[in-house]
Amino acid sequence: MTSLPKSDSLLFSKSYFCSIIFATIVAISVWIPQPSTFLHLVRYALFAAATSLVIVVLGPGGIARTIRHNFLSQLLVLLALYSLASSLWSESPLDALLKSSLLLLSLLACISISDRLSRAEIIAAIIMPLLIFVVLSAIVAVLFPSIGIESSTDHAGKWKGISPQKNALGMTASLLFILLLSQREVLPRIVNSHLSLRALFLLTAGACVVLSGSRGALLDLLVGLLVVVIFRGGERRRFFLVSLGLIITTFLLLTAYFTLRLDGQTISWLGIEADTSNRLLIWNFGLDQLEGRELFGVGMSGFWTEERQAYFSTVNSWVLPNFHNGYMTAYVELGIVGLALVSLIILTAIIKCFSRGKAIQSAGLWTTPAILVMFLVHNFYENNLVRSTDLFLILFFALSLSIPRK
């Protein structure tokens, strides 16, 4: 990995350029116009332009080198190519071709970034647009509540800031909070200039997570904090906490096997009930509609056709074309083959993090595995895995490819 020369000016440095690109991706990620409209195509065009520009400016030369020497990047490229191939059997082939092409573009851009920027520069480039977004959202929520606070019946009083809905603000704020816990040398100059300023930014991000009312964002934050604690400690602490985590996980899985009950919209476990917001209903519908296509799936973006949406709406009097689960989406759209690739990528990323824990700790990059684990957990209740223009997915690409070597 090549660091930027110190003679680069701030204005023309590659780190500054990538920060602008990440800011563009943040804006595109939270901007979701109505499907099949002109603005929808404009959104995709802007994303394609931004990621292509990264490849051109940073140079495509390092992409082949990184893929050749990085097993995780090989798996990610294989998944992107398989998603592209799935457009051949997708029930929405043009949509599948478009989204899978954007997925491949975003991955190649992140590979180029991981090759040309240092790990500290990557984190700094990510933090700045997230910081601007969260701070502006907090200001809008406080000074202009008619714009920055939800008024709908179900979410009244919850912060959304400058994003279209509360979950986007909560997720972005949780990511920012964890990244702000990075070692001082990794942080951008504005954050690192004074301890009280860093504390203010942390307080703002934490307030946005809580006041957004997003349960997923709060869980993301707690998971991220736990992983930071694990990787900031020495090898003994890491071994103890990971062993304890495995024991607790085994216990939870056993109790789930014997006590977990799925009933309509709710999940019951050890007498505790949780509302899934109709996720169980949507998941069962997806599994029922696979119709013997379990091996390769229905193709990327091939499930929620107009016919299936109409059928679901007729039966349930409402429709929301989203599984709200990345792994379920991967299985339905890409089948067992796609889900196996996703699982192998996850396993490889986790093994890399824990096998290189000492290097991660010494480099002050303990927030990198935290963001990766947050991404894996987040996909249990939201879908980021195969959303080509998703901010969380881009961060997973960029940070997983920048895990330091032993």
Average pLDDT, the chain: 86
Q: Is residue 377 part of a domain?
A: yes
- Asked if pLDDT for residue 12 goes beyond 80, the answer is no
- Asked if pLDDT for residue 11 goes beyond 70, the answer is no
Q: How far is CA 102 from the centre of its chain?
A: 16
Average pLDDT over residues 376-383: 91
Q: Which residues contact 154 (CB under 8 A, 6 or more apart)?
A: none
Cα–Cα distances (Å) from 259 to 200, 271, 272, 279, in that order, read 43, 8, 10, 20
Q: Is residue 279 part of a domain?
A: no
**d(C-alpha 152, C-alpha 132), whole Å:** 26
- 385 phi and psi angles, rounded to 5 deg: -65, -45
Q: What is the pLDDT of residue 271?
A: 67
Average pLDDT over residues 279-294: 87
Each residue's pLDDT tens digit, 308-328? 999 988 888 888 888 889 999
Each residue's pLDDT tens digit, 254-274? 776 666 666 666 777 766 777
Q: Is residue 278 part of a domain?
A: no
Burial (CB < 10 A; 0-12, 13-18, 19+), residue 267, is middle
* Residue 70, phi-psi category: left (phi > 0), alpha (psi -120 to 50), beta (remainder): beta
Q: What is the pLDDT of residue 257?
A: 62
Average pLDDT over residues 10-31: 79
Higher local confidence (pLDDT), 295 or 33: 295
Lowest mean pLDDT among 10-24, 88-102, 173-187, 384-398: 10-24
Average pLDDT over residues 52-63: 86
- 263 phi and psi angles, rounded to 5 deg: -140, 100
Higher local confidence (pLDDT), 72 or 246: 72
Please check whether residue 324 is in contact with residue 379, taking contact to mean a CB–CB distance below 8 angstroms.
no
The two structure tokens encoding residue 136: 């502006």
Sign for the CA dihedral angle at 116, 122, 125, 126 comes to positive
Q: Is residue 113 part of a domain?
A: yes
Q: What is the pLDDT of residue 364?
A: 77
Q: Is residue 60 part of a domain?
A: yes
What ranges in 260-400 are assigned the alpha helix state H? 279-288, 306-316, 326-355, 357-362, 367-378, 391-400
Cα–Cα distances (Å) from 64 to 67, 70, 80, 146, 155, in that order, read 5, 10, 15, 50, 47
Average pLDDT over residues 292-313: 91
Q: Which residues contact 120 (CB under 8 A, 6 or more apart)?
A: 185, 186
Which residue range is the domain that position 69 belongs to?
Answer: 14-249+322-400
**d(C-alpha 329, C-alpha 155), whole Å:** 26
**d(C-alpha 15, C-alpha 126), whole Å:** 10
Q: Is residue 115 part of a domain?
A: yes
Triad 175, 266, 316: Cα angle to 5°:
100
Q: Is residue 344 part of a domain?
A: yes
- Asked if pLDDT for residue 1 goes beyond 50, the answer is no
Read off the pTM.
0.89
SS3 107: helix
Q: What is the DSSP letter of 133?
A: H
Q: What is the DSSP letter of 4?
A: P
The two structure tokens encoding residue 286: 């997806």
Q: Which residues of 37-46 are buried (b: 16+ CB within 10 A; e: fewer)?
A: eeeeeebbeb
Nearest-CA neighbor of 89 among 381, 359, 319, 302?
302
Please check whether residue 367 is in contact with residue 181, taking contact to mean a CB–CB distance below 8 angstroms.
yes
Each residue's pLDDT tens digit, 196-239? 888 999 999 999 999 999 999 999 999 999 999 888 877 777 77
Q: What is the pLDDT of residue 156?
A: 84
Number of domains making up the chain: 1
Provide the β-strand partners of residue 274: 267
Q: How far is CA 11 from the centre of its chain?
A: 28
Please check whether residue 110 is in contact with residue 394, taking contact to mean a CB–CB distance below 8 angstroms.
yes
Q: What is the pLDDT of residue 191?
A: 81
**d(C-alpha 168, C-alpha 163), whole Å:** 6
The two structure tokens encoding residue 79: 């998944």
Q: Is residue 295 part of a domain?
A: no
> Percent of the chain beyond pLDDT 70?
92
**d(C-alpha 127, C-alpha 121), whole Å:** 10
Please check whether residue 371 is in contact with residue 175, taking contact to mean a CB–CB distance below 8 angstroms.
yes
- Asked if pLDDT for residue 6 goes beyond 50, the answer is no
